[in-house]
Amino acid sequence: MLELIKIEFLKLRRRKLIWIMLLSALIMPFLTMLLFKYRGQTGVDPIQFYKWSAFGYNIFIILPVALGILCSMLIHEENQHDMLRQLWIVPVSKMRFFFSKFFVVLIYSVIFMLITAIASAFFSIVPGYVTFEWKSILYLLERCLEIGVITSFAMLPIMAIAVSKKGYILPVCVTLVYAFCSFILMPVNMYLHPLCSMAGIIMRNKDIPGLTFAQTINVPLAFLCICVWDIIAVLLAKITLERK
Amino acid sequence: MDDFVIETKQLTKVYGEQTVVNSVDIHVKKGRIYGLLGRNGAGKTTIMKMILGLTPITSGEVFVFGKNIKGQEKRIYPRIGAIIETPEFYPNLTGTENLEIFAKLRGTSAPNAIKNALEIVGLPYKDKKLFSKYSLGMKQRLGIANAILHDPELLILDEPTNGLDPIGIAEVREFIKSLSIEQGKTILISSHILSEISLLADDIGIIDHGVLLEESSMEELKKKNGKYILLQVSDVPKASLILERQFHLKDYSVHDEQTLRIYDTSLNMAEVNKALVVQDVAVISSQLCNNTLEEYFKKITGGEGIA
């Protein structure tokens, strides 16, 4: 499996867009810095800054959309050019092929959130909006790692759709709908959508100020929601790949 | 069964209501080149895809190295190198980088495997040209390099000379021959070009509309179908009637208004000539001719022929 994951990264050589997409991890930390500069606040609670820079739009829009595009790109070329048959002849196990792609998404997601964490720390501490504290930095890193890992699992349904379709337009469109649906479903029922459930897990301690939830946070139920969606996604991918 | 590297039994493929491969039994012997010949759409690629598990088999069985492929894919496929249709690779990588990926997937341990494979097909090693910039011929060569990269015992090559220039075709032909003669590899090759197969194959299977019309060694085929009698007469319908009624001949064809071809060369032509003349049919000429393979294929595929 490790070899397959390494091979997946070899396939990404010269795919500049994938690496350029990582720059989108800087968007929210930078905009948050501008917001605090506009407000003229200094010495603010670090969590208040990180709420905007790392735990807000990043987890509902930017990261899911970036991962959705990545899923489509990882699979599109092999699907489009009928390259899969070259792999099946080797032979490469179809599910190992699928999971190797998933691990690339997971690693990418973690790197993305680590960049967000570093940028958040940089844009908050260097201009002096937040005073340096190891405790808050470690909190930020821990939460960003959690977001990175859980979001990749929450994006498995998009990966399954990318595997089942030849083009990349539909998976990208579904990603956008999927991300916006999480906004709509969050106040209705946060255990229906994996991204909402992921947000519930991240904010389980209710230690991020200014966030209120319509339901009580139930971490096992949130994990169950993600698991159910992931099982369906894996089954869909298995059925689709068996047909290819 | 052990003598055959590939053996299919009643292999059938149905897409919707269309039967594209119909009860095909092919037998590929060890160390020989088997040419699967047929027009475009005859079912050659589908047969190869079924052997390689790339398309489900509707009915029938495939045995490779004496084992039914069903459930044995992981053991059998690493011993096979294949090209199906035009081979595609990662467009953002060079030829060498693409082969590195496949070598890693196969666990190829030979240190110079990639370099050797590229040298054999005449492509540069560690070249900076990306696959997306490759010509069709270069893509085909890279596909062949990928097929031989892991030194497989069996090669399945679907129209491997597609897109190659005449010199490239000759080079690939010689290379395929040398793999069989020098390294004893078994090769199943498909083509719609008769001359290509007749120059390469030891055994041949002729497929048309999904049906295997004939399977024999090339040597036997050449011996069996080389001759016919060319008969030129004044009245072809009357001559046909005489041949059918008096000589019970069925294996003949009408070529034009004055010409008949009789494929049964054991016929006593002196008696035929005499019978025709007696019944007022003038015999303009009667001669024994050698048939070309192309004409033979034209005959057995129902007149449509093969390029």
The yes-or-no verdict on residue B36 having pLDDT over 70 is: yes
Q: Which residue of A has its CA nearest to B74?
A: A91
Please tell me the predicted confidence (pLDDT) of residue B3.
Answer: 78
Cα maximum dimension of chain A: 62
Q: Which residue of A has its CA nearest to B156?
A: A89
Contact A13 B85 (CB under 8 A): no
pLDDT digits (tens, 9 = 90+) for B217-250: 877 776 666 677 888 998 999 999 988 888 888 8
**CA distance linking residue A234 with residue A23, whole number of Å:** 30
The yes-or-no verdict on residue B290 having pLDDT over 80 is: no
**CA distance linking residue A121 with residue A136, whole number of Å:** 9
pLDDT digits (tens, 9 = 90+) for B149-193: 888 999 999 988 877 788 878 888 888 888 888 888 899 999 888
DSSP annotation string for A182-241: HHHHTTT-TTSSHHHHHHHHHTTT--STT---SS---HHHHHHHHHHHHHHHHHHHHHHH
Least trusted range by pLDDT, from A27-36, A186-195, B292-301 = B292-301
**CA distance linking residue B106 with residue B152, whole number of Å:** 11
pLDDT digits (tens, 9 = 90+) for A3-18: 888 888 888 888 888 8
The yes-or-no verdict on residue B60 having pLDDT over 60 is: yes
More confident residue, A2 or B189: B189
B73 contacts in chain A (CB < 8 Å):
91
How far is the alpha carbon of B156 from chain A, nearest alpha carbon, in Å? 11
B80 contacts in chain A (CB < 8 Å):
89
How far is the alpha carbon of B91 from chain A, nearest alpha carbon, in Å? 9
Hey, what are A142's tokens?
Answer: 């821990």
pLDDT digits (tens, 9 = 90+) for B104-146: 888 877 778 888 889 888 888 888 889 888 888 888 889 889 9
Q: Is A16 on the interface with B (CB under 8 A)?
A: no
Please tell me the predicted confidence (pLDDT) of residue A109.
Answer: 94
Dihedral, CA of residue B101, residue B107, residue B108 and residue B110, to nearest 10: 120
B103 contacts in chain A (CB < 8 Å):
none
Please tell me the predicted confidence (pLDDT) of residue B302.
Answer: 66
**DSSP 8-state class, residue B291:** P
Among candidates A13, A87, A88 on the partner chain, residue whose Cβ is nearest the Cβ of B92: A13
More confident residue, A196 or B299: A196
pLDDT digits (tens, 9 = 90+) for A132-157: 888 888 988 998 999 999 999 999 99
For the segment B5-25, the average pLDDT, to the nearest whole number, is 89
**DSSP 8-state class, residue B163:** T
How far is the alpha carbon of B228 from chain A, nearest alpha carbon, in Å? 45
Q: Do A71 and A104 meet the contact criterion of CB atoms below 8 Å apart?
A: no
Closest CA to B14 of B63, B65, B66, B56: B56
Among candidates B85, B88, B106 on the partner chain, residue whose Cβ is nearest the Cβ of A90: B106
How far is the alpha carbon of B131 from chain A, nearest alpha carbon, in Å? 12
B194 CA to centre of own chain: 8
Please tell me the predicted confidence (pLDDT) of residue A58.
Answer: 84
How far is the alpha carbon of A122 from chain B, nearest alpha carbon, in Å? 35
Output the average pLDDT for chain B. 85
Q: Which residue of B has its CA nearest to A7?
A: B101
The structure's pTM equals: 0.77
Hey, what are B201's tokens?
Answer: 């194959």
Q: How many CB pairs under 8 A join A and B?
A: 62
For the segment B51-62, the average pLDDT, to the nearest whole number, is 89
pLDDT digits (tens, 9 = 90+) for A218-241: 889 989 999 999 999 999 988 888
Question: Sorting pLDDT into bands at 50, 70 and 90, what band is A92?
Answer: confident
Contact A7 B146 (CB under 8 A): no
For the beta sheet containing B252-254, the strands, ordered from the edge strand earlier in sequence to the opposite edge, are B252-254, B259-262, B227-233, B283-290
The yes-or-no verdict on residue B291 having pLDDT over 70 is: no
Please tell me the predicted confidence (pLDDT) of residue B225.
Answer: 65
For the segment A71-95, the average pLDDT, to the nearest whole number, is 83
Among candidates A11, A90, A92 on the partner chain, residue whose Cβ is nearest the Cβ of B90: A11
Please tell me the predicted confidence (pLDDT) of residue A230.
Answer: 92
What are the distances in angstroms from CA A240 to CA A1, B13, B115, B238? Answer: 21, 20, 36, 64
**CA distance linking residue B47 with residue B13, whole number of Å:** 8
The yes-or-no verdict on residue B304 having pLDDT over 60 is: no
Hey, what are B176's tokens?
Answer: 């395929």
The yes-or-no verdict on residue B306 having pLDDT over 60 is: no
Residue to substitute from B49, B85, B88, B130, interface A, most A β-carbons within 10 A? B88
A14 contacts in chain B (CB < 8 Å):
92-93, 130
User: Quick one: angle between helices A169-185 and A156-164, nearest 10?
Assistant: 150
A11 contacts in chain B (CB < 8 Å):
90, 92-93, 101
The fraction of chain A above a pLDDT of 90, given in percent, is: 24
Q: Which residue of B has its CA nearest to A9?
A: B101
Contact A89 B52 (CB under 8 A): yes
Contact A11 B101 (CB under 8 A): yes
Contact A13 B78 (CB under 8 A): no
Specify the long-range contacts of residues A140-144, CB closer than 8 Å, at least 24 apart. Answer: A140/A46, A140/A50, A140/A54, A141/A114, A141/A117, A143/A50, A143/A54, A143/A55, A143/A202, A144/A54, A144/A113, A144/A114, A144/A116, A144/A117
